[in-house]
Amino acid sequence: MIPPETQAPLLRISALTKRFGGFTALDNVSVDIRPGERFGLIGPNGSGKTTLINCISGAFRTEAGTVMFRDEDITRLQPHMRTRRGIARSFQIPRPFKSMTVAENLMVALDFAAVTGEIVSAAQRRDTMMSILTRMGLASKANVSATKLSQVELRKMELARAMATHPKLLISDEAMAGLSSSEVDEVLDLLMSLAGQDITIIMIEHIMQAVMRFSDRVMCLDAGRIIAIGTPTEVMANQRVQEAYLGT
Ligand SMILES: Nc1ncnc2c1ncn2[C@@H]1O[C@H](COP(=O)(O)OP(=O)(O)OP(=O)(O)O)[C@@H](O)[C@H]1O
């Protein structure tokens, strides 16, 4: 087996800088993320976490630096093309189509993800949809209106929609915010099981215990810069992290 640190990175971010007018939200950020890694991204409010994932997903153009994904330079690629390459993102606040059932919501995501020219029968699409819902523990909710879902079910559906694009890299943006501790465990278990299935996951999370349990490595941003990167234990013990993030 190839040791993880010698594998080619799935995602390589090099010297990335993002400015909003005169304000620098990301300042010369470089990091490699390995295939299969569970990567926690932390930092205080306004430190640049969302900006970084917007630069990875393509929502933001960058001023300088490059984003390489599976050895391809995707820095200038449109967001939907990055989705097709295998980058998916779940949003902190799920916005399902309220007039639709869970199954219909997922079908929309599957349609979006469909490769142009690929012929997939309705039965195949339905099978794919049901297998994703089963993986997410939502099979019994397939025909339920999205408006009837609980908060934790909505978060799972948001992850299911991201999974519909068959990602190699899944970026989970605060999927656990506002959930009870048992619900946090449910979503964490789900993300763990996805990570065990050939999916690399970047998890943005403010719930420290979840980050600690989930991550192989953690990176902490502060004011747009990386102040620490390493194992969860190393990062939590880092004095700059404690000062910046934990306010101690
Ligand atoms: N579209 C934008 N226009 C102007 N400034 C922005 C924009 N998006 C983010 N910023 C600024 O960039 C900085 C980083 O914001 P970002 O949302 O990336 O932080 P964050 O670490 O995700 O914070 P939080 O934990 O609160 O979500 C903040 O000062 C924010 O105000």
Report in angstroms the alpha-carbon separations of 147 from 96, 100, 150, 151.
8, 8, 8, 10
Please determine, for residue 183, whether its predicted confidence score (pLDDT) is greater than 90: yes
Single-letter amino acid code for the residue at 161: R
Q: Which residue has the tokens 């089963």?
A: 134
Q: Which residue has the tokens 């719930």?
A: 207
Taking the model in full, what pTM does it have?
Answer: 0.90
- 112 alpha carbon, distance to own chain's centre: 18
26 pocket-lining for ligand 1 (C-beta < 6 Å): no
50 pocket-lining for ligand 1 (C-beta < 6 Å): yes
Write down the pLDDT at residue 247.
63
Residue nearest to atom 4 of ligand 1 (CA): 20
State yes or no: ipTM above 0.90. Answer: yes
4-95+167-244 in CATH: which number?
A: 3.40.50.300
pLDDT tens string 92-147: 666 777 888 999 999 888 877 765 556 677 788 888 899 999 999 999 999 999 99
The preferred substitution site among 24, 47, 62 for testing ligand 1, maximizing ligand atoms within 8 Å of CB, is 47
Residue nearest to atom 18 of ligand 1 (CA): 48
Domain ranges of the chain: 4-95+167-244
pLDDT tens string 45-91: 999 999 999 999 999 988 899 999 999 999 999 998 999 899 998 87
Instruction: Give Cβ neighbours of residue 221 (< 8 Å, ≥ 6 apart).
Output: 29, 41, 42, 43, 47, 48, 49, 52, 227
The preferred substitution site among 16, 18, 20, 225 for testing ligand 1, maximizing ligand atoms within 8 Å of CB, is 20
Q: Round the average pLDDT of the chain to a whole number and report it.
A: 89
Write down the pLDDT at residue 27.
96
Please tell me the distance between residue 161's alpha carbon and the centre of ligand 1 in angstroms.
Answer: 25
CB 223 within 8 A of CB 48: yes
Determine the Cα–Cα distance for residues 129 and 111; give it in Å rounded to an integer: 11
Please tell me the distance between residue 48's alpha carbon and the centre of ligand 1 in angstroms.
Answer: 6
Ligand 1: nearest atom to the Cα of 51 = 18
Please determine, for residue 10, whether its predicted confidence score (pLDDT) is greater than 90: yes
51 pocket-lining for ligand 1 (C-beta < 6 Å): yes
Write down the pLDDT at residue 231.
97
Residue nearest to atom 11 of ligand 1 (CA): 25
Instruction: Give Cβ neighbours of residue 80 (< 8 Å, ≥ 6 apart).
Output: 112
DSSP 145: B
Ligand 1: nearest atom to the Cα of 206 = 25
CB 24 within 8 A of CB 16: no
